[in-house]
Structure 1
Amino acid sequence: MDLQQLSQTLERDALGVVFINVLLQQLGLPVPAVPTLLLAGSLAATPGALGKLAAGAILASVLADWGWYHAGKRFGYRVLSGLCKLSINPSSCVSQTEARFLRWGPASLVVAKFVPGFSTVAPPIAGALRMHQPSFLIAAGAGGGLWAGLALGAGWLLRDTVRQVIAALERNTTEALTVVLVLAATWLGWKFWQKYRFRRLSAVPRIGIDELRAALAREPRPLLLDLRGAVMVAQTGPIEGARVAEHSQLEQAVGDWPRNQPIVTLCACPQDAGAILAARRLLDLGYLSVRPLDGGYEAWLASQPQGQR
């Protein structure tokens, strides 16, 4: 659908288009809603019509967030881990996003729409952490209203400019498409460069679960750093003998540990991303022996006796 067709569709049923577009984006589909909101705002005939569009966008946003909230409340860390695996950059681990949510509290839901990669993950984290539902709905509504209101309001205030831009794009479709493709290719190139860079960082030597078990059975024992998020620790319990740590407070977690003594990092991230990044950081800080556990928490859990899982 080109811009002219989108404009005509919005003129016929702006509220329906805005509602569906926002709902699909907030559910996690790659369908950007801001351009639609800008265009819909520029086509609104009256402030009352603009208000209806804002109400529709807020309702769609809250419904999607509410669905993710209940998914997180019911399935907990499995939902968060699944969302993390969808990321093109595996270093964007759920535990780091979760730590951000814990620091910001309900306010994180207000700003979530403006933080790439956080909008879809924040609601299931809120559910998994059993955030009070009325507080969640108020914060999600405020965030959706701020995000949609700014986009619709910008379209309304700059309606003449938006229409001029649309007309110019219609006259220069080939050039506009070229610019869009170049921007998309640049963005994808950046993301794949991040993935390549992470793979290079992943060259840190790892430790297998059998070797770790043997090391824990003798002195000096290695320090086992548990980098799982608070949601998973609360749901599955702490690992006996491990020290719970956050990426943002990694130095404090190992501050009393001798730099010549071994450290093992463990997470529940795709490709052990969080454990690898923590190990690399500790090595850069001067610790001589830091290795991530190969397979992370799943490997640790699988090594437990059947009755202790």
Structure 2
Amino acid sequence: MERYLGIDVGGNHVKTGIVDKDGEIQDFKSFETAELRKNGRFVENLLDRIVYRLINHKGINKIGIGLPGTITKDRSTPIEITAIPEINGVKLQEAFQKRFPDMDIFLENDANAAALGELHFAKKTIPGTYGFITLGTGIGSAAVIDRRIFTGGDGNGLELGHIPSRNDKTLEQNIGKQGIINLIGQRLDEYSGPTLISREEPISATKTVLAANSGDEFARKVFFEVGEILGEGLVSFVRIMDIKTIIIGGGLSAAYQFIEPGIKKQLQYYLTPYYLKAIDIRLASLGNDAGLLGAASLCFD
């Protein structure tokens, strides 16, 4: 069976693994991004690691790479990778091609790659057209239309996290990881009732999820508000893209049962029956493997 090398580049870690067409990951290895960035030689250090990764996998002839930011329309060069700015403008595909001249190299935005991974590896059947949203440190988004990634006019369309949102902020500033922590702190200052959330310890989104699971009214209200904010963004997404299936992934999806009511409230208020009769919001199925499987799935197209 043909196998591929998937590389999921993140701000904290770069995950690599050998993936077959059934989505089985073999020889998984994660590297700290900070370690690879030493001496400003991220690309060279990564290439050195990959050479060693492939010594025992002679049959690999395709490499897929997911990047956390914008890339050129021809999918060859990073433009703005906030977490690793030193690779902006570096001809990454060419650098890999020089080191691995017999291989095909594919680059893509990480959210786009993860969306494509759902298409190929989801545990449940999904339609050929859907939106994909990741809720985590940032807000990632993508769309698959007729089984193809939508890239927009110049290759970097559908950055939902950067659309205007409440409080003169972007959606990501409001409900990315830090935005949610800020929201919890603000609402905690305003709240006088009992809560499991400590006012003496640093605020944690994870602890707030645990509190919501334990029935904490304050925690559930916060996530309802998060759902409202996300719902407003999804209304824009649905109206502009005319896509009615939305798949939600990322770390915050663990709180989805508490976020969902706020989403539904906004969808019911703003959308017409044309959309509402077909709207389908579901959780992603690939979990922590989404980025790596998505990167490998770039080799399929």
| TM-score, normalised with respect to structure 1 | 0.26
- Structure with greater strand share of residues: 2
| TM-score, normalised with respect to structure 2 | 0.26
